[in-house]
Amino acid sequence: MPARRTTRGGPGAHATAALRARRLPLTWFARDTEVVARGLLGCALVHRGRAAVIVETEAYLGPSDRASHARFGPTPRNRVMFGASGTSYVYLCYGVHELFNIVARDERTAEAGAVLVRAAAPLAGLADDPEVARGPGKLTRALALSRAQHGVRLDADELFVAAWREVRAGAVVRSPRVGVDYAGAWARRRLRFSIAGHPAVSRPPRRGR
């Protein structure tokens, strides 16, 4: 079986250096959590020499959101959700997968909020395969992200988000979040955002309200 080639298209061998010039400022994340979750589609998540284009996200709101970690109030694990926007929130899920989130909230009106980056397409330094970061656990493994990157401000040279390509409104699908059936009416809220038909999206969207 032939080896999968590593991506060298797009920004090329100096990908991260080129993307630094397009790095989003921390103020970009200090907006409504849903707006940021939608806006992250098409952006590049960059960690050291690896980069991937975000194709799927989920918004998790403040304490009233019964699917959000914020529903417990500030704890040692989730405290960053109540802090500065543009900060990473990485946690272990089911003792297996480390999941990468970005704190995002309008700090004038929202007590807490974060966006889970669920899936991304390879851009640089990764195998040219849509499955490599298809799902939040695969994404962190592909980009070498772990709890070591928890609580990091995303304006550093090693870990940041960069503008990459615009995703038109007609290509965005809103659907309920994955794996939150315990959250009552909040389980049906359409707080998952994905690029329609993209092969790197983790699973087909389901209906909600």
Walk me through the domains of the chain, giving residue ranges and CATH numbers.
12-163+184-195 (3.10.300.10)
pTM of the model: 0.92
Quick check: 207 pLDDT over 70? no
A 10 A CB-CB count for 12 gives 11
Rounded percentage of the chain residues whose pLDDT exceeds 90: 87
Tokens for 133, please give them: 């970061």
121 pairs with which residues across the strands? 53
**What's the whole-number average pLDDT of the chain?**
92
Tokens for 142, please give them: 């592909």
The reported pLDDT for the residue numbered 13 is: 45
A 10 A CB-CB count for 115 gives 28
Task: Determine contact, residues 39/64, Cβ cutoff 8 Å.
Answer: no
Distances (CA, A) of 5 to 55, 110, 122: 21, 44, 11
Sign of CA dihedral 90, 93, 99, 102: negative
Quick check: 113 pLDDT over 60? yes
> In which residue are the tokens 């109540």 written?
82
| HSE-up of residue 154 (Cα within 13 Å, Cβ side) | 29
Quick check: 12 pLDDT over 70? no
The reported pLDDT for the residue numbered 9 is: 44
